[in-house]
Amino acid sequence: MAAPKKRTSGSRKKIRNRAWKAGPTKVASVAFSLAQSILTGRSTSFYYITEQNRGNNGGERLPKKLR
């Protein structure tokens, strides 16, 4: 049979809660920063796929470097 455990203090609960919420917040911040650098055109190290009609290629997808 399970025995009752000692109660967790309020401060400990807050510490655990903040640590649990910090992970997604950091990931969201990094993703937003990355998107911002791509959209403003300041990034030089990213490639993306774009639709282009160029000559005889029939609109095939061509990689285009940002900038």
Count of domains forming the chain = 1
31 belongs to a structural domain: yes
pLDDT at 13: 93
27 belongs to a structural domain: yes
CB 46 within 8 A of CB 38: yes
Average pLDDT for 4-22 = 91
**pTM: predicted TM-score of the whole model, two decimal places:** 0.47
Average pLDDT for 25-48 = 82
Average pLDDT for 2-16 = 89
Buried b (16+ CB within 10 A) or exposed e, 8-47: eeeeeeeeeeeeeeeeeeeeeeeeeeeeeeeeeeeeeeee
Domain interval for residue 20 = 12-65
pLDDT at 52: 59
59 belongs to a structural domain: yes
Q: Is the pLDDT of residue 6 over 80?
A: yes
3 belongs to a structural domain: no
